[in-house]
Structure 1
Amino acid sequence: MIDAGPVAPTALVTRTGGVPLAPAAAPWPCCASCEGPMQFLAQVVLDDLGGGVGNRGILALFACQNDPGMCDDWDPDSGGNQALLFPADGLEPLPRPEGGVDEALLALGSVRGVSLVHADEHHYDQAGEEWAARNDRPASSVLGQLGGSPAWLQGDETPSCPSCASPMPLIVQLEEGPDHSTAMNFGGGGGAYAFACEPCGRAKFLWQC
């Protein structure tokens, strides 16, 4: 996933930042610990993963930034983050929660689209470094990967589906972003991982540093 520059905040594309798209009347996700609204991080159009199946919907990712580090937003089961699968049809911009919540707590400071580049190198970090060198771009232009195998910064934390108990496949691995002033917060230089069991409609999100 390569940084393709700014896109519209409500674009139906794989992107980081902007406004989440969701079915009508869907609530803005709130943290289970502090009960405050979470920050929207990214959405993935699942059709971008390929595989010959179309109209798979989107995955939307949120994490609590109301008091960073206090709500265990790195943990897939703490309630400090949410990964939500939405159908492809009937999506619309999710209304902001009421009550004058600080915009910085709800959205990243920039909206970045992605271009997808196939890498023959199977090692995630090496593939990114080789792409950056070959294209004379900074390594921070690599925003992550779609599908494939997680490049864990610590131990393997692949979650199992709460419904069918099968190991969940990786949907996306994310870097914090190219601009430190508007980056996602994964502990400072960390990376995030989102998994989903599409048949069961369940998803999980976590980060490591």
Structure 2
Amino acid sequence: MATSTPLERQNLRFVEASEPITEPITKFGGQPVWLADPTWPLSADTGRPMRFIGQIRLPGEEVRLGYLFMTEDGSDEFVDGTYDPTAGENAFFAQPGEPAEFYQVASIRRGPTFGPDHHAELAPHDPDAVDDEDDDLRSRLWGEPVWLQGEEWPDEPGTWRFVAQLDSADEPFDMNLGDAGVAYAFIDEKTGQGRFLWQCS
């Protein structure tokens, strides 16, 4: 496993949009803005479409988006494994790029989502201005992950970049990340395959 040079941490704040966001920019909620043919991931357990979390504009001159999805428990069922990066109950992948092999995809343009569109407001992280003891766990893009439990960098071959850390304390909608959970997203810069996982206290 190789890792790419980290970018500077950007603190992430979510602001609900007044209308659907249809540009290829970083956003959370709503519907994906596909850059190529739709490839909506399906739950390995139920076969139904996962729920869309958001999309993240990846670094580089080429317009490239990373798409985040996760299976949500039904009202009468529990789906295990959403915390596991390779269990087929969550997905992160880029366009241009390719989904991973441990879940199936469908040519669905619009599907279930965790909530309405939210803008991603980013601000450079200033460690000298921190007055929050939980700052290490707060939502951010880039930088380095701060693990709630043990380190879980992807161990498969590839050049992996840390992309996002999402803290359940400030997420814009109700995702099941366990008890006070924190989620982490990584992308292989060559293939566009990603890994998504969460840890809880």
Scaled by the length of structure 1, the TM-score of the pair is 0.72
Kindly indicate whether residue 77 of structure 2 is the aligned counterpart of residue 63 of structure 1. Answer: no
CA RMSD of aligned residues (A): 3.0
Pairs aligned (count): 175
Unaligned runs of 5+ in 1: 48-52, 89-93, 98-105, 133-138
Separation of aligned partners in 2, 1:27 and 1:143: 30
Q: Aligned pair in 2 of structure 1 residues 188, 113: CA closer, same or farther (>3 Å)?
A: farther
Residue 183 of structure 1, CA deviation: 2.3
Unaligned runs of 5+ in 2: 1-11, 98-107
Residue 198 of structure 1, CA deviation: 1.1
Choose from 126, 143, 153 the match for 1:120.
126
Q: What is the identity, as a one-letter code, of the residue corresponding to 1:73?
A: T
Structure 1: 4+ residue segments shifted above 6 A = none
Residue 176 of structure 1 is matched in structure 2 by: 168
Contact kept? 2:159, 2:190, Cα under 8 Å: no
* Percent pairwise identity: 30
Q: Which has the higher helix share?
A: 1
SS of the residue corresponding to residue 116 of structure 1 reads: strand
Give the 5 Å matches for 1:141-180.
Answer: 144-161=139-156, 165-166=157-158, 168-176=160-168, 178=170
Contact kept? 1:159, 1:167, Cα under 8 Å: no
Q: What is the identity, as a one-letter code, of the residue corresponding to 1:160?
A: D
SS of the residue corresponding to residue 158 of structure 1 reads: coil
Q: Aligned pair in 2 of structure 1 residues 24, 170: CA closer, same or farther (>3 Å)?
A: closer
Scaled by the length of structure 2, the TM-score of the pair is 0.74
Q: Aligned pair in 2 of structure 1 residues 6, 143: CA closer, same or farther (>3 Å)?
A: farther
Tell me which of the two structures has the higher relative contact order, counting C-alpha pairs closer than 8 angstroms and 6 or more residues apart.
2
Q: What is the identity, as a one-letter code, of the residue corresponding to 1:70?
A: V
Q: What is the identity, as a one-letter code, of the residue corresponding to 1:107?
A: T
Residue 193 of structure 2 is matched in structure 1 by: 202
Q: Which has the higher strand share?
A: 2
Residue 110 of structure 1 is matched in structure 2 by: 116
Residue 135 of structure 1 is matched in structure 2 by: none
Residue 28 of structure 1 is matched in structure 2 by: 40
Separation of aligned partners in 1, 2:39 and 2:193: 17
SS of the residue corresponding to residue 41 of structure 2 reads: coil
